[in-house]
Amino acid sequence: MKKNISHKQKGFTLIETLLALFILTLSITGPVYIASVAFRNTIDSRDNITAQYLAEEVVEVIRNKRDKISLSNNIVNWLSDIEGCTITTPCHMVSNLNTYTFYQCPNGCPNISFNPSGSSVYGDSGVANTSKFIREFYIENEAVVDGQILSYKLVVNMRWSDKGRDKIYSLTERLYKIDYKQFFYPDSN
């Protein structure tokens, strides 16, 4: 008498298990990679926006200085404390409450410091908390007509290093020599 022996498989073979693990790994790797790229882009965007705001601050401070002196009745050169800021000798700016001071940095400008609890929020070189950003700016004569300077070119460079990659953000602004007081005090001419 013959016995009918049938072997039914129960469970997975080693190859089926390895194939299932491979497919699972592929399905997880894609979203993890996309998330890591998105996280990296978020950090890059944050740094670029920070650099933009820090560069725009220099432009606004210098423009405000020009407008304030132009509106006063004092004849003062509004570039007097930043005239030495050239492409060969850039300057950096330190803020102390509402006062801004400009310093030349012939050997390279220092990193911007950060002290939210003190009187100087950032820019103070005496503070131990330094950021990764270096802010430098310079001014060039741009439009000269008959020996008179009509406009200046202000260039602000923000530099930082991120994971071994040096990055730079540059902002250029044209500042025109305008005598605003003639519009508000027409009899002063």
The tokens describing 48, both together, are: 């670029």
Give the H or E element holding residue 53: helix 14-71
The answer to whether 155 touches 172, Cβ cutoff 8 Å, is yes
Query: Can you give the pLDDT at residue 23?
Result: 92
Both ends of the chain: CA-CA distance in Å? Answer: 129
pTM as predicted: 0.74
pLDDT at site 184: 62
pLDDT tens, position by position, 13-39: 888 889 989 999 989 998 999 999 999
pLDDT at 6: 61
User: pLDDT digits over 122-176, tens only?
Assistant: 655 555 677 889 999 999 888 777 777 778 899 999 999 988 899 999 999 998 8
Which pLDDT belongs to residue 108?
Answer: 87
Q: Which residue has the higher pLDDT, 53 or 84?
A: 53
pLDDT tens, position by position, 41-52 = 998 999 999 999
Helix (H) or strand (E) holding 173: strand 165-176
CA 144 → CA 121, 141, 152, distances in Å?
38, 7, 9
Contact indicator for 173, 154 with CB cutoff of 8 Å: yes
pLDDT at 12 exceeding the cut of 90: no
pLDDT at 151: 83
- The domains of the chain are located at 32-188
Q: What is the pLDDT of residue 71?
A: 73
In which residue are the tokens 């990764």 written? 132
**Is the separation of the CB atoms in 160 and 47 below 8 Å?**
yes
pLDDT in tens, 83-130: 788 888 899 888 776 778 888 988 888 888 876 665 555 655 555 677
Confidence of residue 189 (pLDDT cuts 50, 70, 90): low
DSSP assignment of 8-47 equals ---S--HHHHHHHHHHHHHHHHHHHHHHHHHHHHHHHHHH
Band (pLDDT 50/70/90 cuts) for residue 1 is: low
What is the reported pLDDT for 142? 80
Strand pairing class (111-113; 130-145): antiparallel
Which amino acid makes up residue 23? I
Rounded Cα gap, residues 15 and 12, in angstroms: 8
